[in-house]
Structures are given as structure tokens and as C-alpha cells.
Amino acid sequence: MVDVNSALDEAGLTNPRVREYVAEWAAITQPDRVEVVDAADDARLVQEALDAGELLPAGEGRYYSRSYFKDTARSEERTVVATSTEDDKGVYNNWKPAAEMTELLTDRMRGASAGKTMYVIPYLMAPPGSPLTPYAAGVELTDSRPVVLHMIRMSRVGASYVNELEDPNSFVRAVHVTGDLENLGQGTPDDQRYFATVADERTILHFGSSYGGNALLGKIAHGLRQACYDGRASGVFLAEQFMLLGITDKETGKRWHICGGFPSASGKTNLAMTLAPDALGDRYHVEFYGDDIAWLWVNPDDGRVYGMNPEFGVFGVAKDTNEKTNPTALESIGDGSGVIFTNVAYNEQTHEVWWEGMTKSPPADVTGWQDWKGELISERAADDTSPWAHPNSRFTTTLDNVPNVAADFEDPAGVPIDAIIFGGRTSDREPLVRAITDLAEGVYDGLTLGAEATFAAEGVDGQLRYDPMSMRPFMAYGEGDYAAHWLKIIGAATDRPIFAHVNWFQRGEDGHFRWPGYRENLRALLWLARFKDGDVTGRQTPVGVLPTVEELELEGVEITPEDLEIILTIDNERWRQEMGFREAHLKAFDRLPEEIWEAHRRVSAALDAEA
């Protein structure tokens, strides 16, 4: 039996509840060794991973890893939220009874780390000193060294984060066991994987993957699912899949902070890391806080909603990241950044990396290039057009590598939130930006957020795949209760943020994008900030307030008058069709607050009145 106590003593891990938990799980998973991790161990662990071939060099202070080829993405079908009360069942959370999942996963994990090291990762999902600390501490146990290296980049890691807890029991128990990846039947009826958040026990049990989204338990399982549940159970906060940025007007010194949710493939990371467009760069400075998670709460001192990014790093999608779409991301993964690339293409001779969309075409000289599976490009069949990098390949880098990271990104007080935005991906109907001043209408807008199905076969033409608040895969309890919790938290603020819906993706009949997008998107946010401050008035429509052409700062934008008019107009007929889809979508939710139904009926009636 492995000597757990000596390992914990050696690392100075004194929290008695954590010690019991580590001992309990070491007895179940039966590793050969136990090692407690601190962020200061990174260089040694990187070297060990290089020696073991788990990492390959990818330039100065840059690393490359591959995951097992059937283990490259989150698995929503195998992910569940378990509690002991069926009231927590929602449409999207794959609810299961806690006792059933705990027993099943304990069985799968029994003896499954034999021959391996169990790494004990004490972590904090918050800037140290945050008022949300009681919900932010956790201890991940993992048998994968690459997972440790990712956790060091994505969260704050060290024994002090759990030794100093006011309540020694207030940490999330997060157990990750990789399992025998080659024999787990991924995607078959005999799939052995299970990823469970036993939310009312603050315990996360993930078996059968070492891919980040399934295995970095601080990030998605704790930072989103567990925190979503804790936010409601405590009545204190919201945990959302939101980006967070700041804008400063250098002329007036005004600062705004904007957070918001976007369904995947709607440009959330690019917006989070955006810079001001060239024509406005002298006047506005944009700062990055976070690209994926924000926790929001009300500060009783000033009655405002505050927000913070609980993460320490970025786990970004590599595909299509380039000088135009996201130059700051490219800078954040340069030499000496410590970045870890996963499943991009790799050149075994030059140690370069490449992914689709990084440059217009792949490197012309294919010598030494391997695709994400490690197969030589030079040996591919002539008709093989499969991508070099996996579409979900990633880069993992710390926030402080992002060149425009805000100076106060680690301020435990968080930042006051001026606006909460929802951004769909729709080729028609949704204007560039519409501001929503009413709380219930704002929450209603978030609940009906969606993106167009990528393939016609996925849905009826024009119908969205709804993704409430962009939390569809991370909801921890029922959607009606979730809406009520939003109304309660934001409703408790006396000085509230404004809501808005944005859409960068309207297209003309010939398929061209009507709005240039990328850095120009800042112009919509600037209008919103000015509208909130009462500096512009916009134009009221049934679905919110739209900018007038004169109010948008358009200096340097290339857009035709026709496109501009269309992205600042409401297509009443399309909207009335959408209201029918929304009604069916909302009806599926239990206990949806009457305020949300009233908001739905108000918007419907206003559209009918204008028809």
C-alpha cells in the first residue's frame, strides 16, 4: 500500500479533510506513488514529460502533445450531473441519482491507477483573496502527468490554497482516472467512460479520458458545472461560460467591462482577446480578462454586479487562429510562454507546429511534417485531404502571456460589469446589436440564445440550436430554476448592467458577410457602452434598442449602405416565425418563472403590433 502520509507531509499539505480524501481515493485507485504538486514544480515535470515522450519540444519554451486518437473532445453523452434529488433534473444536464453514479465510478476506478503515480493537485479557481474563495478551492487527483501540466497553466496550484481554507471541508473533490484508453469502447454501445459531477456532494468523478475538456477538472467540471450548482445552492453567485473584457476611452478616462456568452464557433475567444480597430486604436484600449468562464456576484457596497475569471490560463481552439482573427492569441503562445499544443500538426525535424487556418495553405515543403495522429504527411495518399490538425486541437497558455491582459486581472475584488451580452451566429434576423434594458427580457434573451445548425440535416431551415446562455453542456440543474436564479442575483443589484444581443454573422444572398467582423466588432460594444451611459438614444424596436447609423462610430469601416441598413433593421416576419420556435423551446423547461413568460409575450405582442 502506497505511503500517502509521507507524500502529504513532505509537501506540507496539512488540511486534515484533504488528507482523508487523498487516502480514501488512493486506497480505491491503488497507484504506486503519490506526489503533491505545486506550480513551482512545472519545470521539473515538463522535463520528466519530455523524457517520457509525453511532450515533444515545439520551440523555445513551447511544447507539443498528442492525445489518443479516440480521445480528442468533450463527450456530452457521457457527461452527467448527479445529485440526490430528482428536482435537479433539467433538459440538458443528463441528471442521474448521486448514489448510482458514485457506485458505478468507484467500481470503474478501483485499481485503475495501478503502476502509476497519483498526482495531488490542490488548486484555486479564483484570484487569491476573492470573496468567492469558499467555492473556488479544489483538489484534483489524477494519474496523468500531462493533465498536471495543463492544470498548472489553467488554475492556481499549491498546497497553501487548501491549507488556509476557513472551513477545511470547503474544497471540491475532483478525481480523474485515465483508464485504459485503447479499450474503453469510445462511442460504442459498450462505452466505459463516465464524467460525473456529483454536485450536491461537491465531488467530481471522471473516468476514461485524458483530453483537457474531460480531464482538467478545475476548468469545466468545477469552474462551470459545480460552480453553477454552488452558485444557486449558496444563493450568492452565477457561474457562466462567458468571456470578459474591458474597454478604456483614453480621451475621457471612462472604463467599461463587458462579459457574455456565445455558443461554440461564434467567436468568443477572438472577441475576448480583441484589440481596437486601427482607426480607433488611438482612442480606445481593450483589455483581456478571460475567454471562457466568468463568475458574477453582487457587491453589497455599491450594489453593482462584479465579475471575475476564475481561470489562470486559456485552453483555446487552435483552428483558424491567425494574425487577422486573433493576433493576441498568437503572441500569447510565442517563445518562452510555456504553451502546450495538443493535436495540432507537428514537424518532428524543425519542431514547428501548424493548424488549419494558421496560414492560408499548409507548409509547401512537407518534410518532417506529421498530422495530429503522428502520421507523416509525405506518406499520405494523393487524394487524402483530411486536415493536418484535429479540428478541436488546442493551445494552453497562461493569462499573463496574453499581451493585452488587464493590469487588474488578478484583483480579488473583480471588476464592475456594465453589460452582459449574448452572441448568436445567425445569417439573418439578428441585427448587429440590440440593447435590452429590462432584466427579465435580458434573461429571456439569454435563454433563447442559439446558433444556426451547421448542417441542414440538424434542424428545420432557419431554426436555431438553442444554447441557453451558452451553458447547454454545463447546466447543473433545471433551466427554469436557473432562470429564477439569474433574476434573483442580477435583480439584487441596485445599479444593474445592461443586456444586449450581438451578431457578427449576417450574410447577403451571395453568402458574403454583411459586417466585416473581428476588431470592428468593438464598434457595437462602444455603442452599447454609450447607450448605457445615456450618451446615445438609439431606436426602439420590438426586440430592443438598435443604434442609428449616425450613432455607430464607423470611421474606417468598409461596408455598403445596403448591408449597413440591413444589419440595423428588424425583419419582423422572420422574428415572428422565431417566436413560435422559442415558445416550444421554453415550454420544455420546468418551473420557468412567470416573468420570463411575460417577457416572451411582451416581445411577441410588440412584433405583432408592428406587423
Query: Site residues (CB under 5 A) for Mn ion?
Result: 292
The closest alpha carbon to 218, from 264, 168, 156, 164, belongs to 156
The minimum distance between CB 291 and ligand OXD, in angstroms, equals: 8
Nearer to ligand OXD, 220 or 433 (CB): 220
Nearer to Mn ion, 292 or 311 (CB): 292
The closest alpha carbon to 439, from 501, 496, 502, belongs to 496
Spell out, one character per residue from 517 to 556, where the chain touches ligand OXD: x when CB under 6 A holds, - when not. ----------------------------------------
The closest alpha carbon to 592, from 373, 403, 440, belongs to 440
The minimum distance between CB 544 and ligand OXD, in angstroms, equals: 27
443 contacts 596 by C-beta, under 8 angstroms: yes
Q: Is the dihedral of CA 139, 144, 149, 154 positive or negative?
A: negative
* Residue 285 binds which entry of ligand OXD, Mn ion, none, CB below 5-8 Å type-dependent: none
The minimum distance between CB 292 and ligand OXD, in angstroms, equals: 5
- Could you tell me the three cell numbers for 48? 520528466
- Number of amino acids touching ligand OXD (CB under 6 A): 4
The minimum distance between CB 138 and Mn ion, in angstroms, equals: 18
Query: Distance (Å, rounded) from C-alpha 331 to C-alpha 189?
Result: 43
Nearer to Mn ion, 27 or 265 (CB): 265
Query: Distance (Å, rounded) from C-alpha 479 to C-alpha 90?
Result: 6
The minimum distance between CB 587 and ligand OXD, in angstroms, equals: 27
The minimum distance between CB 537 and ligand OXD, in angstroms, equals: 37
The total number of residues written for the chain in this structure? 611
Nearer to Mn ion, 262 or 505 (CB): 262
Please report, as residue ranges, which positions from 422 to 441 form the binding site for ligand OXD (by CB under 6 A): none
Q: Which residue is nearest to Mn ion (CB)?
A: 292
Pairing of strands 79-83, 415-416: unpaired
The minimum distance between CB 74 and ligand OXD, in angstroms, equals: 5
The minimum distance between CB 29 and ligand OXD, in angstroms, equals: 25
Nearer to ligand OXD, 310 or 497 (CB): 310
* Residue 123 binds which entry of ligand OXD, Mn ion, none, CB below 5-8 Å type-dependent: none
User: Whose grid coordinates read 512545472?
Assistant: 42
The closest alpha carbon to 533, from 284, 252, 327, belongs to 252
* Residue 315 binds which entry of Mn ion, ligand OXD, none, CB below 5-8 Å type-dependent: ligand OXD
Query: Distance (Å, rounded) from C-alpha 465 to C-alpha 483?
Result: 19
User: Whose grid coordinates read 429571456?
Assistant: 444
Nearer to ligand OXD, 292 or 445 (CB): 292
544 contacts 446 by C-beta, under 8 angstroms: no
* Residue 74 binds which entry of ligand OXD, Mn ion, none, CB below 5-8 Å type-dependent: ligand OXD
The minimum distance between CB 317 and Mn ion, in angstroms, equals: 9
Please report, as residue ranges, which positions from 275 to 334 form the binding site for ligand OXD (by CB under 6 A): 292, 315
User: Whose grid coordinates read 445552492?
Assistant: 233
Contacts of residues 265-268 at CB distance under 8 Å and 24 or more positions apart, as own/partner, are 265/425, 265/451, 265/454, 266/423, 266/424, 266/425, 266/451, 266/505, 267/423, 267/425, 267/504, 267/517, 267/521, 268/243, 268/292, 268/423, 268/470
- Could you tell me the three cell numbers for 6? 509521507
Spell out, one character per residue from 156 to 195, where the chain touches ligand OXD: x when CB under 6 A holds, - when not. ----------------------------------------
Burial classification of residue 379, based on how many CB atoms lie within 10 Å of its CB (0-12 exposed, 13-18 middle, 19 or more buried) = exposed
Q: Give Cβ neighbours of residue 516 (< 8 Å, ≥ 6 apart).
A: 557, 558, 559
Based on the shown chain and the rule CB under 6 A, indicate whether residue 74 belongs to the binding site for ligand OXD: yes
Nearer to Mn ion, 79 or 113 (CB): 79
The minimum distance between CB 274 and ligand OXD, in angstroms, equals: 18
* Residue 213 binds which entry of Mn ion, ligand OXD, none, CB below 5-8 Å type-dependent: ligand OXD
Could you tell me where the DSSP H helices lie in 379-519?
439-447, 479-491
Nearer to ligand OXD, 135 or 315 (CB): 315
The closest alpha carbon to 442, from 453, 432, 434, 454, belongs to 434
Spell out, one character per residue from 241 to 280, where the chain touches ligand OXD: x when CB under 6 A holds, - when not. ----------------------------------------
The minimum distance between CB 292 and Mn ion, in angstroms, equals: 4
* Residue 341 binds which entry of Mn ion, ligand OXD, none, CB below 5-8 Å type-dependent: none
Positions that interact with ligand OXD (CB under 6 A): 74, 213, 292, 315
